[in-house]
């Protein structure tokens, strides 16, 4: 528990006592880590046994809210439903926490922000797509006017433009 960076607290939706036992376990985690905001994901397992449910979604969600808005998922190991998602969520929480700590320890500015780098790359990809789209439209417009050697046929762009204008009028 001392060395762990994040926790998946898993209970069975078919057993109310399993959820109640997690409350004590969470308190131990918070005490040992000395941090009420430790990365935790609350997981209700056996979602495939809906007929045997003893813990309502609203009750489990209320617990997640009481624990500081920790994410709540319902999973089914049998169906392999949401299993990957819970691990991804706790890993994201750990990464966010590490990045925030690095900013605080490093003075908040010098290091590269992982999210900012992704945002910049995303913006650049959007600009490139936009340029390509404009070139495609210009080429199609030239083809339509007869400059492309297609004999003035209506281009894909022109057909799309005409079809979309009809949709807007309706």
146 — alpha (psi -120 to 50), left (phi > 0) or beta?
left
* Rounded Cα gap, residues 25 and 97, in angstroms: 21
* Rounded Cα gap, residues 155 and 140, in angstroms: 6
pLDDT tens-digit map of 84-120: 999 999 999 999 999 988 888 876 554 454 555 677 7
Q: Which residues contact 47 (CB under 8 A, 6 or more apart)?
A: 13, 74, 75, 76, 79, 81, 82
The whole-number pLDDT of residue 36 equals: 87
- Phi first, then psi, for residue 29 (nearest 5°) are -60, -50
pLDDT tens-digit map of 23-78: 999 999 999 999 888 999 999 999 999 999 999 999 999 999 999 999 999 999 99
């Amino acid at each position: 528990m001392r060395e762990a960076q994040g926790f998946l607290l898993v209970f069975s939706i078919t057993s109310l006592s399993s959820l109640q036992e997690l409350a004590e376990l969470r308190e131990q985690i918070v005490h040992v880590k000395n941090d009420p905001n430790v990365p935790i994901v609350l997981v209700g397992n056996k979602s495939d046994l809906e007929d045997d449910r003893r813990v309502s979604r609203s009750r489990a969600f209320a617990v997640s809210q009481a624990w500081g808005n920790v994410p709540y998922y319902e999973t089914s190991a049998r169906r392999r439903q949401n299993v990957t998602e819970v691990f991804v969520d706790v890993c994201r929480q750990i990464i966010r926490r590490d990045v925030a700590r690095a900013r605080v320890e490093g003075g908040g500015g010098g290091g590269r922000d992982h999210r900012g780098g992704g945002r910049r790359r995303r913006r650049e990809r959007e600009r490139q797509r936009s340029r390509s789209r404009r070139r495609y439209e210009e080429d199609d417009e030239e083809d339509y006017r007869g400059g492309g050697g297609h004999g003035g046929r209506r281009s894909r762009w022109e057909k799309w433009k005409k079809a979309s204008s009809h949709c807007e009028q309706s």
